[in-house]
Structure 1
Amino acid sequence: MASQSAFLPHARHSVRGFTLVEMVTVILILGILVVGISSFIIFGTRIFVESSSVDQVLSQSRFAVERMTRELRSALPSSVRINSDSLTYQCVEFVPIEASTTYLSMPIAPNATALTGTVILNATDQIKENQYIWIYPLTDSDVYNSARQKRAQIKTFTSLGEPPNPANQVTLTFMASTRFSEASPRQRIYFGSAPVSYCFEKAPSGNELTLKRYTVYGFNVSQPTPAHMSSGILMAQSVANVLSNSADLPLILTPSSLVNNAMVHLQPRFNVNGETFQYRHQVQVINVP
């Protein structure tokens, strides 16, 4: 008996994939997610950059105003003066006090000129050769103009306790024979080396101002302009005051008198990312000549 072959059906292998509609849908969803995430990242980055810019200007301006305030508080009496140009700059100049004490003997009119004078000091680390001294300065001319006979320059000085001086006395030797025009009522004498200027200057490009600090340019009878001083050190940028507007000047000086101290009004206005903030400091310069 012949055997019959059994024919088994072949198993079907199903082939599965994505349709065009599914692919387009996925692409649209991914595109929406990417746009949303990228917008969030860009927005966060922009906030970070703007916050960093504001923080940088705040820190810079705070440091500059604080340093100006500290230096002005220790300014020599009657040494503060302001010079400005309505288009390009406004500067405040003063002489920082490096030491002050009482003198015992000084060549003061009507006495004859002399090369030496004696002062009381507890330490000599604050005085040095080539330093300047002032006795009874009442105006800025007394500070900056040597012809007023209120200023002299130290050539050398003795150490504390060096014979024939007692332990707390120092003899100063001047660069030239000197005679001061007036005596201080309290026999007060001031020591300093060089004037300092802070200038708000118009930036090379744009309408904003920069703040620079100048020193080591010497004494001048007339207050110098930024162009006549040494290279300044940049202290702050983005200053928005308008120099041609007398109500918006960054510096205002109320001069001293015999009964009142000098007052410097610091009111620089800074601009960053369209936002403006302003400082309003009043610095009192003690007038004790």
Structure 2
Amino acid sequence: MYKFIERRRDKQRAVPMQVLALGFSRTGTTSMRIALKKLGYNETNHGFDVWANPLEMEMWTEAINAKFYGKGKLYGRAEWDQLLGDYMAVTDMPHILFAKELIEAYPEAKVILTTRNVDSWWKSYHDTIGSALNSLIRDITVRFDTTNARKAREFWHLASLAMFGTTNVTEEVAKKRYLEYYDEVRSFVPADRLLEYRVGEGWESLCQFLEKGVPTEPFPKTNDTKTFQNHMKRLTVSVWGRLVRQLAMPAFLVCCACFAFYYAGGIRIFI
């Protein structure tokens, strides 16, 4: 099942884990990733990194299966170092599935909870991640894709099931889990180690908490709903474009063969 994990079994932590930004997806986690990099946390692991890295996806899958489905060994500090040893900070999904485990594994790391109004969060989630996961056209698309897209889609379905406990993520289910999650994380972290950062606050509270100077440029704002939707459209077009190119030559050769067969048969009949 796993092709890549063995490459990381003996890996040690290369840099200290300093920040655990454990806000729910669609609470400015992409902007937080950029902000942390600007503040010197140059290696910040985000869901986008997991999406693009089959090895990381396999290890997260192993961790999810162990925690939520009783398959395999639960991850401890050694396994987290193997997976996240090159990173100084983390944010986004699937990291939030292991908030308690990461907080316990890295007691020296500061914890940031990016937050937003639950109704605003649900609308953003529903129009982006929720829509993408429930899209029939994207399910069909990845079935024809020979790249990482199919495995990535399977992985995010698994992660979503682990987070919400159901594939039928209604507004009621999602909002309930959202509020429960924040209460859980608050109970895991001493107050002096935790910053609750509301999306749109700017640099000041974040820099004060992390004891960093305030940058002169505005706080980053990226991956809004429109950007996410456009990205998914481009991904779908890219997959279908690649499929068409892959099928064009075989289709051409089949047509040539059919024409040659028909033409040769026609000659024989005429003779």
By the TM > 0.5 criterion, same fold? no
Shorter-normalised TM-score: what interval?
under 0.3
Structure index of larger Rg: 1
User: Which is helix-richer, 1 or 2?
Assistant: 2
Q: Which of 1 and 2 has higher RCO (CA within 8 Å, sep 6+)?
A: 2
